[in-house]
Structure 1
């Protein structure tokens, strides 16, 4: 049932690709987005009045793009990851950010980091893989801002435990754009 719902969602969102079949069979292998045409986050620019209905995180480009009705509405560049950013998260403590299609399943305004949006990792496949090795897949992967109470400039480098970090201003805008249940695709 979960797979059927995911496939239906992918077919619905396939308007960005050349065919629905391509989107269902290989959503992660689509060509890279032409990011130059997407409005970047700017502190002085008000958030768009539309809500995002899909997010793409491109780990190699360090780019998060929010979409609405197949059109990019905002881009966040220079995002940060865990200490081992490349490769799919396999186990608790591996400091990797998951890759694949998940959802934003809840939000936490009182987390240890400024405004956290939780990603639905691990899914059943992630759990089964880790279980084969007698390990935990981990969890509590979020998109969030800087540590709560930290007053300095944004932390540099990859410093999370596998989460996706933005500046506090960026997460405030994204928080207002992204409802719970929004699909998020995380690519290499």
Structure 2
């Protein structure tokens, strides 16, 4: 009886510990993230507080990483100046933070070509079941980081934060 009670106590404690680790919503009480800069060429994302780098992340891109996104379905990641404009806690990719692509210039260029610029560009974590990432550069134009990293980014970055994406 004592052995069974002890086993239940140990297993219950283990279950509570694992449940606490599973929370994807982290808190952040550090300096405000005032800007993101992303360099596609070396696959590096920087989170800044003014001129100080707070965090650096490596990432994967769209399946056609060279050049700026111009049209829906081209598999490219945008280049230019945008803002973080939304977040999705129920994303197919763990968590996701939206980028304001397309901007006015993107829309005008695509329209002049008689095409759609596309949209729904996010920084996101890994895929849920049923989506097979082929690394590197497996997304449809988004920026993919690890699940742990998107948890940090989701907590640190607020809507309206500027993001500059460079070739």
Q: When the two structures are superposed, what TM-score results if normalisation uses the length of structure 2?
A: 0.79
Partners of 1:146 and 1:155 within 8 A in 2: no
Match of 2:48 among 67, 91, 97: 67
**Cα-Cα RMSD:** 1.9
1:168 counterpart residue number:
147
Rg: which structure is higher?
A: 2
**Structure 1: tracts of 5 or more residues without a match:** 1-45
Higher relative contact order (CA 8 A, sep 6+): 2
Q: Which runs of 4+ in 1 moved over 4 A?
A: none
1:110 and 2:90 correspond: yes
Per-residue deviation, 1:114? 1.2
User: Would you say the 8 A contact 1:52–1:177 is kept in 2?
Assistant: yes
* 1:80-107 deviation per Cα after TM superposition (whole angstroms, max 9, x unaligned): 0011111110000000000001000010
* CA distance in 1: counterparts of 2:154 and 2:108, whole angstroms: 31
* 2:62 corresponds to which of 82, 86, 98: 82
User: What is the number of residues matched between the two proteins?
Assistant: 140
**TM-score of the two chains, using structure 1 as the length reference:** 0.70
Contiguous gaps of at least 5 residues in structure 2:
1-26
